[in-house]
């Protein structure tokens, strides 16, 4: 597995410093990539795999959400794969973009009784999986994606974000 090349841009919202976001994002996304590679046997290109993270505000993500998804409302995270990809297939060297909205993320974290960083970690993993073709439209696909998120977050020391009781 090649290295992740993560490009970060902060364009709106009240986010931690770019250095803090970079450190957190690298730790989280490298753990997610390791899990996908080693546990799920997801192939990666041999070269560096690039993705961009845009940290913005509700107004900006609402505009993007309306334009690209026809939903005129803010959301917590949007992912845009650079190329269509199917889970288990080798992605191109450019994965795509993940966009996060600070106000929605902060509000959701407070409502769920989680720290901002824990919820941001979850949404980074969630957005990253979308770049590999995972989705949650159909129940079976949602269960698969949520299971992956839960396992990756457990490796990062976080509890199940969906609140399932372990069996």
pTM of this structure? 0.93
| CA distance linking residue 112 with residue 110, whole number of Å | 5
pLDDT at 1 over 90: no
99: confidence class by pLDDT, cuts 50, 70, 90:
very high
What pLDDT is recorded for position 166?
Answer: 44
Q: Which CA distances in Å does 123 have to 49, 68, 129?
A: 19, 19, 10
Q: pLDDT, tens digit, for every residue of 120-134?
A: 999 999 999 999 999
At residue 159, the pLDDT reads: 87
pLDDT digits (tens, 9 = 90+) for 37-59: 999 999 998 888 999 999 999 99
- pLDDT > 70: percent of the chain: 96
Residue 165 binned pLDDT confidence (cut-offs 50, 70, 90): very low
What the block records as the tokens of 132 is 């590999």
The predicted pLDDT at position 37 comes to 94
Cα distance between residue 154 and residue 110, in whole Å: 21
- How deeply is 15 buried, as exposed, middle or buried, from its count of CB atoms within 10 A (0-12, 13-18, 19+)? buried
Residue-range domains of the chain with CATH: 4-155 (3.40.390.30)
Q: Mean pLDDT across the stretch 130-151?
A: 93
Contact (Cβ atoms closer than 8 angstroms) between residue 61 and residue 104: yes
Which run of H or E residues covers position 121?
Answer: helix 116-131
Which residues fall within 8 angstroms of residue 25, CB to CB, at 6 or more apart?
6, 8, 53, 124
């Amino acid at each position: 597995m090649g290295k992740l090349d993560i490009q970060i841009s902060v364009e709106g919202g009240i986010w931690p410093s770019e250095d803090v976001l970079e450190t957190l994002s690298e730790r989280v996304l490298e753990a997610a990539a390791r899990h996908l590679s080693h546990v799920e046997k997801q192939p990666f290109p041999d070269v560096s795999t690039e993705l961009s993270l845009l940290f913005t505000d509700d107004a900006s993500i609402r505009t993007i959400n309306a334009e690209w998804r026809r939903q005129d409302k803010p959301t917590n995270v949007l992912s845009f794969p650079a190329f269509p990809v199917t889970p288990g297939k080798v992605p191109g060297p450019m994965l795509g973009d993940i966009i996060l909205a600070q106000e929605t993320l902060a509000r959701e974290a407070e409502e769920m009784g989680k720290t901002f960083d824990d919820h941001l970690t979850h949404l980074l993993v969630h957005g990253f999986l979308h770049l590999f073709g995972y989705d949650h439209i159909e129940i079976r696909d949602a269960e698969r994606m949520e299971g992956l998120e839960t396992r990756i977050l457990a490796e990062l020391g976080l509890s199940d974000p969906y609140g399932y009781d372990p069996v």
